[in-house]
Amino acid sequence: MTTDIFHIKLGICSCYLIGGSKGIVMVDAGTPGKIRSFKRKLARLHIHPEDIKLIVITHSHFDHAGSAKEIRDLTGARILIHKFEKEYLEDGGFIMPKGVNLNGKITRPLIFPFLKRIRFPRPKADLLVDNDGLSLHEFGLDGNIIHTPGHTPGSLSVLLNSGEAFVGCMAHNNFPFRLNPGLPTYAKDIDKVIESWKMLIDKGARTIFPGHGNPFPVEVMKRELSY
């Protein structure tokens, strides 16, 4: 199956549009207030809003879910998230990660008290997945939504059978998080992040599409993990 992949920035978040035989699956929905930017980007790509059928929220943080409600209202797409993070998406609250490297440990106490106060329109989740994940066959894609805990307990990734892995904050690849691609700067449980990475690699991940920054080859993660 031929799959079209479009990388769009909505605020500081790298979002992805994955074209399948039954429409488009979107991964993450950017920071709050980006619906006008989203409309412009769709127009440039000659994509009709109603072509988007599913919005996968990799985790409930504001920079990945902030414009989800407006995008759902525009497109009619269903919103999917892990069942653990449903209440954070719909009702508020903030899963506070830890700084897991020097940059993270220095910056966490400076920025996260501010970030946890950011408000955005709260969508209702249409679909919930558990730790077993979900096949994307219904949406015309050869691939799966996979539970990849670590950054948050309910973090999700999308892994296509052809090796493209859309991993949210399982990896960072731009300033101010990192200067080069690698493990995230912030994570609730870095040991679980590492376990999740090994699982993705074993399942055939080849090209990594992070939630912040540009795609990079999986060999970067193999070297970082010595795996």
Global confidence as pTM: 0.96
Would you say 170 and 197 are in contact if contact means Cβ atoms under 8 Å apart?
yes
In the prediction, which pLDDT does 115 show?
A: 86
Q: Any bridge partners for residue 127, and if so which?
A: 80
CATH code at position 92: 3.60.15.10
| pLDDT tens by residue, 80-134 | 999 999 999 999 999 999 999 999 999 999 888 888 889 999 999 999 999 999 9
CB neighbours of 98 closer than 8 A, spacing ≥ 6? 104, 108, 186, 187, 188, 190
How many Cβ atoms sit within 10 Å of the Cβ of residue 34? Answer: 21
Both structure tokens of 181: 């691609």
User: How many helices and strands in the chain, by DSSP H and E?
Assistant: 7, 14
Q: Starting at the edge strand that comes first in sequence, how are the strands of the sheet with 207-210 ordered?
A: 134-135, 143-147, 156-160, 164-168, 207-210, 216-217
Both structure tokens of 190: 């870095």
| pLDDT tens by residue, 134-190 | 999 999 999 999 999 999 999 999 999 999 999 999 999 988 888 899 999 999 999
Q: Which domain holds residue 63?
A: 4-225
In the prediction, which pLDDT does 135 show?
A: 97
The count of domains in the chain is 1
Give the helix/strand (H/E) hosting 127: strand 127-129
In the prediction, which pLDDT does 1 show?
A: 44
Sign of CA dihedral 184, 188, 193, 194: positive
| pLDDT tens by residue, 2-61 | 579 999 999 999 999 999 999 999 999 999 999 999 999 999 999 999 999 999 999 999
In the prediction, which pLDDT does 2 show?
A: 53
